[in-house]
Amino acid sequence: MDTENKLCNKVEECYHIMGKKWMGLIVHTLMEEPKRFSEIHAFIPDLSKRVLNERMKELEDNGIVLRNVIADRPVRTEYSLTKKGTELGRSLKALEAWADKWL
């Protein structure tokens, strides 16, 4: 029973993180390659920059996204998925396939 309860808690935490609006789409945009903030925003134009900034911080805090500052001129920041984020993205692909078939 204790193992089942731990699994339930982990699943609940996953839904808590990914259940927030835009999280899945942000992870989806980063599946192919790292992107700058403006590129992510352009892919999801209905997402406000303020909310995108909040979500990126949450994803970074959860170890799903890595923020990389590139010291070129001008300085730029790129976001990419961590190994944890890439595995999550692969899981979301199944959901995308379901949506394509049924929605």
* Rounded Cα–Cα distance for residues 88 and 14 (Å): 10
What residues contact residue 20 under an 8 Å CB cut-off, 6+ apart? 55, 58
Residues 8-30 pLDDT 10s: 888 888 888 899 999 999 999 99
Residues 39-64 pLDDT 10s: 999 999 999 999 999 999 999 999 99
Q: What is the CATH number of the domain that holds 29?
A: 1.10.10.10
For 20, counting Cβ atoms within 10 Å of its Cβ (0-12 exposed, 13-18 middle, 19+ buried), the class is middle
Q: First vs last Cα of the chain: how many Å apart? A: 36
**Residue 1 banded pLDDT, cuts 50, 70, 90:** low
pTM for the whole structure: 0.87
Domain of residue 19: give its range.
2-102
Number of domains in the chain: 1
H or E element that contains 36 = strand 35-36
